[in-house]
Structure 1
Amino acid sequence: MAARFDLARQVADAVLFEGYVLYPYRASAAKNKLRWQFGVLVPPAWGADSAEHSFQRTEVLMEPRSGAELSVELRFLHAQRRTVQRSLDDGRFETVTALELPDRVLVPWDEGTEERVTLVAAVTELAGDGLTVPFSVPAREETEPVHDADGHLVGRLVRRSEELNGLVRVTASDIDGPYATMRLAATVENTSTWSPEGAADRDAALPRSLVAAHLLLGLGAGSFLSMTDPPEWAKGAVAACRNEHAWPVLAGEPGRADVVLSSPIILEDHPAIAPESPGALYDSLEIDEILALRTAALTDQEKREARGTDPRAAEVIDLAESMPPEVLERLHGAVRALREVTGPGPTPPPDLVPDVPGAQPGAPWWDPESDRSVDPVRDRITVEGRSVGAGSRVLLKPGKRRTDAQDLFLHGRSAHVEAVLHDVDGGVHLAVTVEGDPGVDIRRAQGRFLYFQPDEVAPLEDT
Structure 2
Amino acid sequence: MSAFPTGIESGFAAARQIADAVLLEGYVLYPYRASAAKNRLRWQFGVLVPPEYTAQGGEHSHQRTECLVEPRGGDRLAVELRFLRVQRRTVERATATGGFEPVGRLELADRVFVEWDEGVEERIELLLPVDELAGDGVLRPFRLPGVGETELLRENDAAVGRLVRRREQVDGLLRLTAEELPGPYRAQRLTVVVENTSTWTPARHARREEALPRSLVSAHLLLGLEHGCFLSVTDPPEWARPAVERCRNEHTWPVLAGPDRGRRVVLSSPIILEDHPQVAPESLGTLYDATEIDEILALRTAALTDQEKREARGTDERAGAVIDLADSMPPEVLERLHGAVRGLREITGCPPEAEQPWWDPGNDPEVDPERDRVLVDGHSVGAGSRVLLRPGRRRTDAQDLFLHGRTAVVEAVLHDVDGSVHLAVTVDGDPGADLWRAQGRFRYFQPDEVTPLGEAPPPADGAVRTEGP
- Fold agreement, TM-score > 0.5: yes
- Quote the residue 2:136 is aligned against: 129
Q: Structure 2: state its 5+ residue gaps.
A: 1-7, 349-438, 441-469
Aligned match of 2:332 in 326, 342, 351? 326
Contact 1:274–1:285 (CA<8 Å) still a contact in 2? no
Q: 1:310 and 1:76 mapped to 2: Cα distance?
A: 18
Q: Which of the numbers 46, 61, 76 marks the counterpart of 2:53?
A: 46
CA distance in 2, matches of 1:94, 1:200: 27
Aligned pair 1:12/2:12, yes or no? no
- Give the corresponding residue for 1:442: none
Decide which of 77, 97, 106 is 2:104's aligned counterpart.
97
Q: Residue in 2 aligned with 1:271? A: 277
Partner of 1:188: 194
**Structure 1 residue aligned with 2:214:** 208
Report the counterpart of residue 262 of structure 1 in structure 2: 268
Question: How far apart, in 1, do the equivalents of 2:23 and 2:220 lie?
Answer: 8
Output aligned runs, 1:287-302, within 5 Å.
Answer: 287-302=293-308
Mapping of residues 415-430 of structure 1, within 5 Å: none
Identity of aligned residues (%): 66
SS at match of 1:303: helix
Contact 2:30 2:297 in 1 (8 A): yes
Conserved? CA contact 2:56–2:205, under 8 Å: no
Residue 143 of structure 1 corresponds to 150
| Equivalent in 105, 109, 118 of residue 116 of structure 2 | 109
| Counterpart-to-counterpart distance in 1, 2:292 and 2:153 | 37
The aligned runs of 1:340-355 (5 Å cut-off) are 340=345
Work out whether 1:3 is the aligned partner of 2:10: yes
Does structure 2 retain, via aligned residues, the 8 Å contact 1:162–1:207? yes
The change in CA–CA distance for 1:337 and 1:59 in structure 2 (over 3 A counts) is farther
The alignment's TM-score, normalised by the length of structure 2, stands at 0.72
1:239 aligns with 2:245: yes
Aligned length: 343
- Contact 1:277–1:285 (8 Å) recurs in 2: no
Letter in 2 for 1:210: L
What are the Cα deviations for residues 326-378 of structure 1, in whole angstroms up to 9, with x where unaligned? 1101100011144x3699xxxxxxxxxxxxxxxxxxxxxxxxxxxxxxxxxxx
Q: Say whether the 8 Å CA contact 1:249–1:270 is kept in structure 2.
A: yes
Cα displacement (A) at 1:286: 6.5
Rg: which structure is higher?
2
Q: Hey, what's the Cα distance between the residues in 1 that align with 2:292 and 2:229? A: 31
Corresponding residue of 2:204: 198
Q: Is the 8 Å Cα contact of residues 141 and 174 (structure 2) preserved in structure 1?
A: yes
Equivalent position of 1:220 in the other structure = 226
Amino acid at match of 2:197: T
Code of the residue aligned with 1:185 in structure 2: it is: T
- Once the two structures are superposed, residues 373-413 of structure 1 have per-residue CA deviations (whole angstroms, 9 ceiling, x without a partner) of xxxxxxxxxxxxxxxxxxxxxxxxxxxxxxxxxxxxxxxxx
SS of match in other structure, 2:254: strand
2:92 counterpart of 1:68: no
Distance apart, 1:167 and its partner CA: 0.8
**1:448 is matched with which residue?**
none
Give how far 1:49 is off. Answer: 2.4
Alignment of 1:298-377 (within 5 A): 298-338=304-344, 340=345
Residues in 2 aligned to 1:327 and 1:40: alpha-carbon distance in whole angstroms: 35
- Residue ranges of structure 1 left out of the alignment (5+ in a row): 344-454, 457-463
The reply on whether 1:21 has 2:28 as its aligned counterpart is yes
Give the C-alpha shift of residue 67 in structure 1: 1.0
Q: Report the residue type matching 2:128 in the other structure.
A: A
Q: Give 2:42's aligned residue.
A: 35
